């Protein structure tokens, strides 16, 4: 055998051995991933956690108890008003809401803005939908609320959206957000006119709608509920600086805000999100050619590794969600870098599904801080109702805890005889109440100002 042939034969043997070794390594790696996935699912099953989205769906609500039935009537009122507006403008594509969205934000941030033209645009939009008040009032008295489209799995939702040409869940969410804007706009207009009873009553309705329509243990509903409640609470803080709340509504608001908190809500929502993700991996594992066999093996292998990674990632997120925010701030802050940006190359789907986890934790704490600030501020307003003034030393009577650092909500007297309450915000750093009370998301701290002298015309 010539030297060249010996070299070629040796290279071939090395190539075969390397190929065989790679095959054994791949088999062993895949086998290990499958075993880890099976073990994790078995543990989840034993703990009672849902493994499919269908297992996480809450039971149906009868039409007699379901507020969603009446809220759909409200949707139709909005749709009819939209259609009437399009006919009046002879533009079949115009959407009136988007024409007034910016003026609505401005009015809700400051009901006493000076731009009368923008106020008139919002008032016209509100008046054209005033018939929505009747079904809304009835809906808010019903004990349950379930929109079936909110409980369609991601996989089924994609299939249905392709068939129908639209996402019905997105359409319902948009209408609910428009109704929430209608309530807050109505409250702002009432405050502008000095009608305290209508203003505070409608703010209460906005809070009740947020808690009812967006009820459920999913991340999207948790985020929507938090956003809607914070919009109403920011309006409450602004209105209270100029218009004192009527006694009866003040007590009703305090009762509403004193509802028991749900510290396990985020963890449950992450568990539902995990079940949603497992549905996606199950669907992808079934994609194949006409004979039912995977047509492209490499993506299937990557999906298997990704599912293994996703189970570990969601387990870590749920563990963080079960602890107070001050203890997990740094862990959530590094979650993007550790789990998402620097995650393994194959973790594409898990990144897409988990990218919202840290934001959901922060938003949940923001909502909790806003609710506690509101409750504390209304407790001070109750003292004003009893004594007509805000005496010194009231800060010592407040017991609410700031969810961002575990210490009492900050409180100090102000020069006008009132008080400044604030949370230190997501960064956990006390900036002495520095923040934008017209939009809490724009400042480092979350301030709530309780004026010492509140009378219409004074700020």
For range 94-106, the mean pLDDT: 92
Instruction: Kindly state whether residue 332 falls inside one of the protein's structural domains.
Output: no
pLDDT of residue 352: 84
Q: Find the range with the poorest average confidence among 85-89, 136-140, 316-320.
A: 85-89
What gap in Å lies between CA 1 and CA 252, rounded to an integer?
A: 98
The per-residue DSSP string of 338-364 comes to: IIIITS-TT-HHHHHHHTTHHHHHHHH
> How confident is the model over 271-280, as a mean pLDDT?
92
Q: What is the pLDDT of residue 29?
A: 66
Residue 245 lies in a domain: no
Residue given tokens 């703010």 in the structure block: 203
Residue 370 to residues 229, 281, 394, 415, Cα–Cα distance (Å):
9, 37, 19, 23
Domain end marker among 215, 241, 268 = 215
Give residue 327's pLDDT. Answer: 93
* Last residue of one domain, picked from the residues 197, 215, 233: 215
41 part of a folded domain? no
Q: What is the mean pLDDT of residues 148-167?
A: 69
What does the pLDDT look like over 279-325, one tens digit per residue?
A: 988 888 776 444 455 444 556 778 888 899 899 999 999 999 989 99
d(CA 283, CA 155): 7
Residue 177 lies in a domain: yes
Category of 216 on φ-ψ map: left (φ > 0), alpha (ψ -120 to 50) or beta: left
For residue 154, the model assigns a pLDDT of 77
Confidence label for 419 from pLDDT (cuts 50, 70 and 90): very high
Say what the pLDDT of residue 344 is.
81
Residue 211 lies in a domain: yes
Number of domains in the chain: 2
pTM for this entry:
0.88
Q: Residue 77: inside a domain, yes or no?
A: yes
Q: Which helix (H) or strand (E) holds 227?
A: helix 219-240
- pLDDT at residue 283, rounded to an integer: 85
* Bridge partners, residue 394, by sequence: none
pLDDT in tens, 361-397: 999 999 999 999 999 999 998 887 766 778 888 898 8
- Of 215, 236, 269, the residue at which a domain comes to its end is 215
For the chain, the straight-line distance linking the first and the last C-alpha, in angstroms and rounded, comes to 101
Determine the Cα–Cα distance for residues 446 and 437; give it in Å rounded to an integer.
7
Q: Which two tokens stand for residue 175?
A: 């209408």
Q: Whole-angstrom Cα distance, residue 252 to residue 231?
A: 19
Range of the domain at 438: 376-450
Does residue 420 register a pLDDT over 70?
Answer: yes
**How far apart (Å, rounded) are the C-alpha atoms in residues 302 and 247?**
62
Strand, helix or coil at 272?
helix
* Averaged pLDDT, 103-121: 95
Band of residue 8 on the pLDDT scale cut at 50, 70, 90: low
Confidence of residue 417 (pLDDT cuts 50, 70, 90): confident
pLDDT exceeds 70 at position 165: no
- Indicate whether 131 pLDDT > 60: yes
Residue 336 in domain? no
Whether 195 is covered by a domain: the verdict is yes
Contact 166, 149 (CB under 8 A): no
């Amino acid at each position: 055998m010539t030297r060249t042939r010996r070299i070629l034969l040796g290279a071939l043997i090395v190539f075969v051995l390397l190929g065989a070794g790679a095959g054994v390594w791949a088999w062993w790696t895949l086998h290990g991933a499958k075993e880890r996935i099976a073990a994790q699912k078995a543990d989840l099953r034993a703990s009672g956690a849902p493994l499919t989205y269908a297992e996480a769906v809450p039971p149906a609500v009868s039409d007699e108890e379901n507020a969603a039935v009446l809220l759909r009537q409200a949707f139709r009122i909005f749709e009819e008003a939209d259609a009437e507006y399009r006919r009046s403008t002879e533009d079949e594509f115009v959407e009136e809401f988007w024409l007034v969205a910016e003026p609505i934000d401005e009015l809700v941030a400051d009901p006493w803005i000076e731009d009368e033209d923008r106020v008139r645009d919002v008032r016209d939009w509100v008046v054209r939908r005033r018939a929505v008040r009747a079904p809304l009032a009835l809906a808010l008295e019903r004990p349950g609320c379930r929109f079936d489209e909110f409980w369609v799995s991601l996989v089924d939702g994609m299939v249905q959206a392709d068939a129908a040409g639209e996402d019905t869940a997105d359409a319902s969410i948009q209408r609910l957000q428009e109704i929430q804007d209608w309530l807050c706009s109505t409250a702002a207009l009432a405050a502008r006119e000095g009608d305290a009873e209508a203003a505070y009553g409608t703010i209460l309705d906005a809070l009740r709608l947020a808690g009812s329509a967006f009820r459920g243990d999913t991340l999207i509903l948790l985020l929507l509920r938090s956003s809607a409640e914070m919009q109403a609470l920011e309006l409450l803080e602004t209105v209270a600086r100029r218009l004192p709340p009527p006694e009866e509504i003040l007590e009703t608001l305090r009762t509403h805000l004193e509802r028991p908190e749900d510290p396990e809500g985020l963890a449950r929502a992450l568990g539902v999100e995990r079940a949603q993700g497992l549905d996606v991996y199950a669907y992808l594992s079934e994609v194949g050619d006409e004979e039912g066999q995977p047509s492209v093996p490499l993506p299937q292998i990557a999906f298997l590794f990704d599912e293994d990674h996703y189970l570990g990632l969601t387990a870590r997120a749920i563990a963080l969600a079960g602890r107070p925010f001050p203890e997990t701030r740094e862990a959530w802050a590094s979650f993007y870098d550790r789990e998402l940006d620097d995650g393994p190359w194959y973790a594409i789907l898990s990144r897409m599904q988990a990218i919202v986890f840290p934001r959901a934790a922060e938003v949940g704490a923001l909502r909790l801080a806003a609710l506690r600030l509101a409750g504390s501020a209304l407790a001070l307003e109750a003292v004003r109702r009893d004594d007509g003034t805000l005496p010194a030393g009231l800060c010592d009577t407040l017991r609410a805890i700031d969810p961002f650092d575990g210490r009492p909500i900050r409180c100090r007297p102000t020069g006008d005889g009132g008080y400044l309450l604030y949370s230190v915000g997501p960064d956990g750093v006390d900036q002495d109440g520095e923040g934008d009370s017209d939009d809490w998301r724009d400042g480092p701290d979350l301030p709530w100002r309780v004026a010492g002298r509140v009378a219409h015309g004074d700020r």
